[in-house]
Chain A
């Protein structure tokens, strides 16, 4: 019985990867194996984010890796980026969330919608992990319907005054800069709000039973004065924050497969080892069926992600295509984590095993960045031409 992680690759997708994509995957896999897995259960138990991993993640180049080198990126392919997210989430959804937010929701909008000066000021430091970012779109009364946001900016001389509140914001409390979406003259615009700006606070949301090794926060803005250069000049309308979410959801689609692969590997090994009625429980047909379902769904999601990456690389991936992969990936990963927990029996509820931790994490991932139901309606609308939620 092997003792090391056996990454499921039933359809030999490895053969489709380039050397450097495999190297990126293996690098992050090894880092997670050696530096994350031995300690992440303790952080989840304590309910804290492993802050000391940020400099090392930055040194590995995990923040904004698809950006050009002049902004601290490595210009890696969409497949390499996806594989990196897959391996990070094999460690923990909280760790992948951190990287998703930093790369897809902070560096991406500054790169795409920011001025040359904003790019120069923030991107290299965000890539180096010297600055942490967060992204504020969701509000207490504005979740699936972000267009109903109440956070408002008004002009004040050259600058702006911001009022409102954001909720469920990953990294909020530890962020040095927040990308905040607010209505200015009734149009959704993006603002860069730095930590310490008077009137801006970011209290942490505690008492969570999911994403425990991740910081979740509220962002509160009370008459926050912002300079004129806090505005992202090229972001006008709701499509701007939604384009950021497409980036992050793409990473999630890959990431959750990593969590599912971790759960499958753990369950399969346990089933081969655990003896009941004088034989390994893997001998029983019910357990074998579960493992077969898990392997099938992981393989399907891997292929989906691989093709989605190709489409994204060539600029052909639509946000509906990304919705499909995010929706399917989260749904299946959650199901797989549940089955793994089930195969593990009582042992599956402890931090000694990973599946329970992945299971409760995936409950968040299932509904964040667009709930399962909303993604269903996005796909439905693209198929019928009828938007069910308007």
Chain B
């Protein structure tokens, strides 16, 4: 089985994000970057498929120099090969999907895994759009996956229900929390990741079609109001919910 996994470096979810002086991006100083948490599920799935079906797991990451850290983390978990798609930055989602598809094209992957979204941009678009440019099916936000070697069965959840899909390989799957329990890296994996040469490909230059105009902080939440205590406070609370908050 020839397996690809798309990974991205993202700010640690515990990091307190600040807007940069230009108001167009997040300030990168003092932020700890980690492998995007949803991509960890994708890497884990890629490793499990390798263990089950044999073959190799190749990880791809798109971006500037820092992207290498995401690749090394995936190698330390057990991936075999890594490809860094160098882009000058500034690509929009469409541009990223095109660049990823160009790098994946012609390599004969049976399956491509990606996280369902990155925790910084939160778009959830790059995985499915990459599948589009590769002309292969995709199933997104997958929580359970089976494969008999040529066809897959995938389950995804939505509010109040679940969907089951069947589909032949090749396919692109985006991973949702619950798909698996990602493994820890290992000391051997870390030493391997250090020695492993990472292949580099250049992304073709592209003009972003979406422009970010300005980043703003969310409005500061107003302090709540305590209208009283116990049963006596209920009529007043109902009145305020109706008349002031207008939620009833």
- A residues touching B (Cβ–Cβ < 8 Å)? 4, 19-20, 23-24, 27, 30-31, 56, 59-62, 65, 69, 74-76, 80, 84
Residue B184 at the A interface, CB < 8 A?
Answer: yes
8 A Cβ contacts from B183-232 to A = 183-191, 193-194
The number of A-B residue pairs with CB atoms under 8 Å apart is: 49
- Indicate if the CB atoms of A31 and B76 lie closer than 8 Å: no
- Indicate if the CB atoms of B190 and A59 lie closer than 8 Å: no
- Indicate if the CB atoms of B184 and A59 lie closer than 8 Å: yes
> Which residues of A lie under 8 Å from residue B191 when comparing CB positions?
20, 74-76
**In the bound complex, CA of A44 to CA of B79 (Å):** 37
Residue B72 at the A interface, CB < 8 A?
Answer: yes
> Which residues of B lie under 8 Å from residue A69 when comparing CB positions?
188
Most chain A CB within 10 A, of B14, B72, B191, B193, is at B191
> Which residues of B lie under 8 Å from residue A76 when comparing CB positions?
187, 190-191
Given contacts A23-B185, A24-B190, 5 further A-B contacts (CB under 8 A): A20-B190, A20-B191, A23-B190, A62-B187, A76-B187
- Indicate if the CB atoms of A27 and B185 lie closer than 8 Å: yes
**In the bound complex, CA of A114 to CA of B81 (Å):** 37
**In the bound complex, CA of A30 to CA of B190 (Å):** 15
> Which residues of B lie under 8 Å from residue A65 when comparing CB positions?
187
16 residue pairs from A and B, CB less than 8 Å apart: A4-B14, A19-B72, A20-B194, A23-B72, A23-B73, A27-B76, A27-B185, A27-B190, A56-B184, A59-B186, A62-B187, A69-B188, A74-B186, A74-B191, A76-B187, A76-B191
8 A Cβ contacts from B1-27 to A = 14
**In the bound complex, CA of A75 to CA of B186 (Å):** 12
- Indicate if the CB atoms of B187 and A80 lie closer than 8 Å: yes
> Which residues of B lie under 8 Å from residue A80 when comparing CB positions?
187
Q: How far is the CB of A149 from chain B (nearest CB, A)?
A: 35
Q: How far is the CB of A325 from chain B (nearest CB, A)?
A: 23
- Indicate if the CB atoms of A84 and B184 lie closer than 8 Å: no
Known pairs A20-B191, A20-B194, A75-B191; A60 contacts B184 (CB<8 A) = yes
> Which residues of A lie under 8 Å from residue B185 when comparing CB positions?
23, 27, 60
> Which residues of A lie under 8 Å from residue B73 when comparing CB positions?
23
**In the bound complex, CA of A280 to CA of B188 (Å):** 45
> Which residues of A lie under 8 Å from residue B14 when comparing CB positions?
4
> Which residues of A lie under 8 Å from residue B183 when comparing CB positions?
59
> Which residues of B lie under 8 Å from residue A75 when comparing CB positions?
191
CB closest chain-A residue, reference B195: A20
> Which residues of B lie under 8 Å from residue A23 when comparing CB positions?
72-73, 76, 185, 190, 193
Q: How far is the CB of A92 from chain B (nearest CB, A)?
A: 18
CB closest chain-B residue, reference A60: B186
